[in-house]
């Protein structure tokens, strides 16, 4: 059979997006899980960090109700901020191409492994509006059951690499945030793989982070994109469980911001910016019991068909 797909990326975190209906059943979905490594291969396949499967009740419907996030190794993720923005933009594109282009959706709500996720378009004009996603309520620090084990695991892999701080967060999936002035891609490539089996988890997202001074150009950019100012700005490098090194990680940006905001040193109604290799993303987390909001771009690359 042939699979119709769209290639999208959110801050260079790239995905193959495909649509199925309930009539396709679990047969197609399970096939995509098995074939994800082949489909995501950057030499023999589409080339992607994962496969995003949007599901409708009936064929050719414009609005899906469900999303399955398949990592490049075939495992299923509970959350993916960059992927959520990409599928929301795909829904908007389908409405524009096959519905009434004057009646584009202002928001998209999807079920992801039983949890509702809401995506909103911050700008209703232009071809590529910024997309904001409610990512769920982060658990940070002592609220994370495996915090002590994570700190011990990081201590082993970071030995001899200078001072650092470690934070932990769960937001649908587990995250370890290592803040150090020595943050670099090379350090991430060392600690990321080393931590995958070093703690009480089935893989973990690892972020090596350093703080950056806020400049006037950063506030001007935030004002243009968000209509707000930034309270903090970081540079980060990411290793994602099930995918390896990626250009950006939406839930990871939320984890980085949540660890920062939980210190109480930053106003909770402020936005935090995080620069990853693929681009800049923004997070706001106003209250402990409220979901973190991730904002950033989603870009269409091309549409295609591949035999599966």
Residues taking part in catalysis:
80, 249
Tokens of 76: 């299923």
Tokens of 186: 């090379």
Rg (CA), the chain: 19
| DSSP one-letter string for the chain | -EEEEEEEEETTEEEEEEEEEGGGHHHHHHHHHHHHHHHH-TTTS---SEEEEEEESSTT-S---EEEEEETTS-EES--HHHHHHHHHHHHHHHHHHS-TTS--SEEEEEETTEEEEEEES--SSSS--EEEE----EEGGGSTTHHHHHHHHHHHTTTS---EEEEEESSSEEEEEE-TT--HHHHHHHHHHTTTSSSSSS-EEEEEEE----HHHHHHHHHHHSS-EEEEEEEEEEETTTEEES--HHHHHHHHHHHHTTSSS-TTSEEEEEETTEEEEEE--STTSPPEEEE--EEEEEEEEE-
Tokens of 9: 């990326």
């Amino acid at each position: 059979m042939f699979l119709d797909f769209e290639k999208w990326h959110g801050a260079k975190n790239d995905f193959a997006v495909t649509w199925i209906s309930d009539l396709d059943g679990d047969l197609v979905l399970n096939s995509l899980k098995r074939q994800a490594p082949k489909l995501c291969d950057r030499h023999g396949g589409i080339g992607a960090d994962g496969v995003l499967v949007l599901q409708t009740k009936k064929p050719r419907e414009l609005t899906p109700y469900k999303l399955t996030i398949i990592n490049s190794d075939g495992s299923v993720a509970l959350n993916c901020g960059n992927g959520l923005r990409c599928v929301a933009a795909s829904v908007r594109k389908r409405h524009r191409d096959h519905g009434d282009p004057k009646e584009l959706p202002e928001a998209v709500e999807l079920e992801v492994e039983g949890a509702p996720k809401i995506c909103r378009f911050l700008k209703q004009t232009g071809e590529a509006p910024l997309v904001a996603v409610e990512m769920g309520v982060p658990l940070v620090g002592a609220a994370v059951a495996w915090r002590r084990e994570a700190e011990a695991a990081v201590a082993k892999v970071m030995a001899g690499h200078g001072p650092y701080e470690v934070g932990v967060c769960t937001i649908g999936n587990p995250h370890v945030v290592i803040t150090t002035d020595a943050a670099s891609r090379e350090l991430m490539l060392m600690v990321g793989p080393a931590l995958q089996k070093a703690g009480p988890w089935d893989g973990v997202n690892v972020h090596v982070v350093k703080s950056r001074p806020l400049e006037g150009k950063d506030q001007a950019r935030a004002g243009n994109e968000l209509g707000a100012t930034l309270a903090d700005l970081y540079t980060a490098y990411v290793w994602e469980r099930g995918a390896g090194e990626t250009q950006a990680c939406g839930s990871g940006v939320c984890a980085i911001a949540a660890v920062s905001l939980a210190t109480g040193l930053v106003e909770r109604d402020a936005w935090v910016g995080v620069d990853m290799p693929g681009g800049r993303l923004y997070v706001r987390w106003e209250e402990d019991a409220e979901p973190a909001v991730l904002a950033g771009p989603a870009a269409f690359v091309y549409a295609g068909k591949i035999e599966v």
